[in-house]
Amino acid sequence: MTGVGGTEPRKGMRPMLPQDVSPSISAVQSLLEGPDDGQPALAALIENLDPAEVRQAWLRSDPVARGRFIDLVREYSRTRIQRFGSYTADLLSQQIQMFGWSIGEKTYGRPLILEPSLGRLTIGRYCSLADPSIILGNHTVRTPSTYPFMTLWFDWPGTAVGGIDHVARDVVIGNDVWIGHQAIILPGARIGDGCVIGAGTIVSGTIPPYSICVGNPGRVRSTRFAPEVVEFLLKVRWWDWPDALVDRFIPLLIGADMHPFIEAVLKDAEVLGLYGLAPEPS
């Protein structure tokens, strides 16, 4: 079986790791590679360890152990991540249910949502959100006053006649989008897949896929890749792959050169099978 990038994987091959390990790492590794009845002890041990130690023990363990305890380690990791306030769908679960938003898996960060009841928020998968503000509605500017009388109706009996003080517009953020510190996403914004939004940027309108947008007002300064590469990435949509396939491609997804990733995709039977295609003949 050929690995990603056409290399032949060696049985038992493990990442290069430091030779010296702490007693905690050794204990976790021992339980990982031990019998299944060691799972309660493993769960209790890793609950109180630094995530970096658990990761080292995980990487040092044999593949069979990794597979046997993968659900436990994933649950541990998810719990730790939630403590740091990261997975957006978990953090905003009540609002998602209440307002009908859609936030994709693996997206992390805690955005501030303003006027949450006014519009629909859609965020794709694998997005990295620092602490942006996302606004789903604005005060109307087409009336003599911009004051929100209808919103503060309890002080104003005159609002019984009806009226408008806000205008709602949905916000759509694509997949694999990185939004920097204190960016502001205005009502009606459409941010394409793969975009990078700089810190403090104020975004309005439509931002094409794989654009780098910075400034106030936000302007597209460049595109991350050549047009043909962007087209390829939008067709492949790696963020929709099964987790195991994404994990197998991680060395290429975080590699400095795009071309090995493209070449591996075009030769990989599992990836091509998702699109009903066969690998190119070698």
Q: Is the pLDDT of residue 92 over 70?
A: yes
Supply the pLDDT for residue 14.
Answer: 42
Counting residues of the chain whose pLDDT is more than 70, the rounded percentage is 78
Task: Please tell me which residue, 73 or 209, carries the higher pLDDT value.
Answer: 209
Domain boundaries, the chain: 24-80, 101-142+166-224, 226-281
Between these two residues, 172 and 38, which has the higher pLDDT value?
172
**Whole-angstrom Cα distance, residue 224 to residue 145?**
43
Rounded mean pLDDT, 102-124: 95
Question: Which pLDDT score, from 0 to 100, does residue 9 have?
Answer: 38
pLDDT of residue 20: 56
CB count in 10 Å sphere of residue 263 = 15
Q: Is the pLDDT of residue 37 over 80?
A: no
pLDDT of residue 77: 59
Provide the phi-psi class of 208: left if phi over 0, else alpha when psi is between -120 and 50, else beta. Answer: beta
For 63-90, what is each residue's pLDDT tens digit? 776 666 666 666 665 555 444 446 899 8
pLDDT at res. 2? 38
Instruction: Provide, rounded to the nearest whole percent, the portion of the chain with pLDDT above 90.
Output: 53
For residue 85, the model assigns a pLDDT of 46
In this prediction, residue 281 has a pLDDT band, given cuts at 50, 70 and 90, of low
Q: Tell me: pLDDT of 125 over 80.
A: yes
Active-site entry in 139, 166, 181, 259: 139
- Amino acid 204: pLDDT: 97
In this prediction, residues 100-121 reach a mean pLDDT of 94
Interval 247-270 mean pLDDT:
94
Choice between 136 and 54, residue whose per-residue pLDDT is larger: 136
Report whether pLDDT(282) > 70. no
Q: Kindly report the average pLDDT of the chain as a whole number.
A: 83
CATH number assigned to the domain covering 101-142+166-224: 2.160.10.10
Separation between Cα atoms, residue 274 and residue 269, nearest integer Å: 9
Q: Is 166 a catalytic residue?
A: no
Look at residue 114 and tell me whether its pLDDT is greater than 70: yes
Per-residue pLDDT at 57: 73
- Express each pLDDT in 144-201 by its tens digit: 998 888 888 888 888 888 888 888 999 999 999 999 999 999 999 999 999 999 999 9
Report pLDDT for 86. 65
